[in-house]
Amino acid sequence: MTRAESMRRELDYKSQIKRAAISIMSNVAEGFERGGRAEFAQFLSTAKASCAEVRSLLYVALDEHYIDEATFTRLSGQAEEVARVTGGLRSAVVRQRDAQRGKPSVLSPQSSNLTTGVTP
């Protein structure tokens, strides 16, 4: 998307959306390498927040006519899927962390909304 002709002069925007997208995978990798489940869960939360930033920037791209509706729908759907997977992984890591500590999990499959990460 950032290589499209419509984005040629939008250097700041291109840089921001690239940084947000790269931040997702970087935070997953860094959190995993930290070794502890609590830190991994925190980095996964940050990665999921970067997914939201990417989706927000896609709305800007649509509003500014950098991308068309079909491209927006495709990319937004991909960003939502990454957020769901990241949120699901975070929930699993938190459950493992809590089980290891002998505590009931604060995130259970019944009480966690994996799309938004909001716990009722």
| Protein fold of 11-101 | de novo design (two linked rop proteins) (1.20.1440)
Q: What would the pLDDT profile of 33-83 be if each residue is shown by its tens digit?
A: 998 899 999 999 999 999 999 999 999 999 999 999 999 999 999 999 999
Q: What would the pLDDT profile of 52-61 be if each residue is shown by its tens digit?
A: 999 999 999 9
Ordered by start, the domain boundaries in the chain are 11-101
Q: For residues 16, 87, 67 and 11, what is the CA-based torsion angle, rounded to 10 degrees?
A: 10
Distance CA 53, CA 9 (A): 21
pTM for the model stands at 0.77
Long-range own/partner contacts, residues 31-35 (CB < 8 A, 24 or more apart): none
